[in-house]
Structure 1
Amino acid sequence: MRQDVSPRTTAAPARPSAPVPRRQQIAAGIRDSFSAGLGIFPLGIALGLLVLQAGLPWWLTPALSVAAFAGSLELLLVGMMATVTPLAAVAVTVFVVNFRHIFYAFSFPLHLVKHPVAKAYAVYAMIDEAYAVNASLPESERSAPRLLAMQIACESYWVGGGLVGVALGAALPAPVKGLEFALCSLFTVLTLDAFRSRREIPSVLLAGASAAVALVVTPGLAMFTALLLFVGLLLVRHALTARRSTGETADA
């Protein structure tokens, strides 16, 4: 009996993808920041103008930009400092406005950053724009150099825009009205961009419902209430999705 001695064809092992050089990762992070920078830089200009229009010293603009680095909070602090708001009210406002960052930390890829100093900066620079830009990236394309480069670029836009705003405010003969709407416009653009990349219609509907209920129930603490309600709804949705997936697996 003749035996078949023809060699068998085996599939060649897949070659692991070559790691992306650090320089290319940094360049990618800077490119990622461009979309957010289009809103951050003008918003920084608005902050510089508001500081001068409120009668505060010009150096408060870069001081706030470095110490706080939170656009919505800094715009609120300018008005509170101009009216000499009590420290207790300032503390409550800071807590309520920045409370949302606690939820950002649940899905922000801080685990990619290993160095303690770099991780501390990543936490400090975890602003809304950085979170939105990172959320639109695929998991496979995220890295510590890319994340940190994007955050450093965003802060550069913010500080630079504030200094430009100070210079413009000193040169303009009259105050500029309507600058407060710049922050709302930026958040609207970031939300639309994140929705376009992920197509998460249920999340958008849950967020809208949370905001509507918060505005009716607790208008004075609408953001705080909306965040808590939105997180609760997301947890319920996750539980229902997990149960449905488990049921489909069991039926199969």
Structure 2
Amino acid sequence: MGFVPLGLAFGALATQSGLDWWWAGLSAALAFGGSFEFLLIGMVTAAAPLTAIALSAFMVNVRHVFYALSFPLHRITGRHSKTYATFALCDEAYALTTSAQARSWPGPRILWLQFFLHLSWTGGAIAGALLGSLIPDGVTGLDFALTAMFAVLALDAVRDLRGDLPIPVLALLGALTARLLFPSQMLLAAFALFTAALLASHFTTGRRTSRA
């Protein structure tokens, strides 16, 4: 549900920036980068060098490296299916497939989930590019769709912890520390700090268990 208004906003922004309508659909289908695609619009219209675009893409999407550590790719069979699952891994697919309810999901269900997310984003982008000018100025909330979607995903993730609150506390502390110490590289620094904290917590808990 959240992908459609986001796609509409992305498609409308692309055409308002002077890009052809097909550019929005092609970017959504081939890049499928979400937040990076919004950044890409400004870089394309400013004729940014390819090296700058590549570096920006890496910095914005480096979080997927951490997602791959626990994404259930082992449930998906077939080389082509695994390739698509890797390509279509996004924040929402990761949050849904790593939840407690999804632990018994088979590979085909995960693939279909990713496909419909991909389709919703691409379809929304094309519709926004073609019909964005028809959206009334009085319509509000499109810019809040992404925030609302991540808020719901975060609540579901906290509920899955079943009282294990130190994990979100570590995430919050990592984000705040990264914001204060590394504001220009906040995302990468926050993930690195969070990963280090999780590893430290894992080894500390393991030692306590072995001693007991």
Shift of residue 148, structure 1, vs aligned partner = 0.6
User: Where does structure 2 lack aligned partners over 5 or more consecutive residues?
Assistant: none
Q: Which residue of 2 aligns with 1:229?
A: 193
Q: Indicate which of 78, 103, 113 corresponds to 1:115.
A: 78
Residues 133-178 of structure 1: per-residue CA shift (max 9 Å, x gap): 0111446512111111111111111111112212331334869898
User: 2:85, 2:111 within 8 Å by CA — same for their partners in 1?
Assistant: yes
User: 1:53, 1:175 within 8 Å by CA — same for their partners in 2?
Assistant: no
User: What percent of counterpart residues are identical?
Assistant: 42
User: 2:93, 2:114 within 8 Å by CA — same for their partners in 1?
Assistant: yes
What is the root-mean-square deviation of aligned Cα atoms in Å?
Answer: 2.1
1:54 pairs with 2:23: no
User: Equivalent residues in 2 for 1:172-211 (5 A)?
Assistant: 172=135, 181-199=144-162, 200-211=164-175
The two structures have a TM-score, normalised by structure 1, of 0.77
Shift of residue 69, structure 1, vs aligned partner = 0.8
- Cα 1:176/1:68, change in 2 over 3 Å: farther
Aligned counterparts of 1:208 and 1:146: Cα–Cα separation in 2: 32
Q: Indicate which of 128, 136, 151 corresponds to 2:99.
A: 136
Residue correspondences, number: 211
User: Where does structure 1 lack aligned partners over 5 or more consecutive residues?
Assistant: 1-37
Shift of residue 179, structure 1, vs aligned partner = 5.3
Shift of residue 197, structure 1, vs aligned partner = 2.7
Task: For residue 47 of structure 2, give the secondary structure of its aligned residue in structure 1.
Answer: coil
- Cα 1:183/1:86, change in 2 over 3 Å: farther
Letter in 2 for 1:40: F
Shift of residue 83, structure 1, vs aligned partner = 2.3
Task: For residue 68 of structure 2, give the secondary structure of its aligned residue in structure 1.
Answer: helix
The two structures have a TM-score, normalised by structure 2, of 0.91
Letter in 1 for 2:77: K
Aligned counterparts of 1:178 and 1:143: Cα–Cα separation in 2: 35
Farther-moved stretch of structure 1 (153-162 vs 164-173): 164-173
Aligned counterparts of 2:149 and 2:16: Cα–Cα separation in 1: 22
1:150 pairs with 2:107: no
- Cα 1:177/1:82, change in 2 over 3 Å: farther
Task: For residue 142 of structure 1, give the secondary structure of its aligned residue in structure 2.
Answer: coil
Aligned counterparts of 2:140 and 2:44: Cα–Cα separation in 1: 19
Q: Which residue of 1 aligns with 2:68?
A: 105
- Cα 1:164/1:224, change in 2 over 3 Å: same
Give the number of the structure whose alpha-carbon radius of gyration is greater: 1
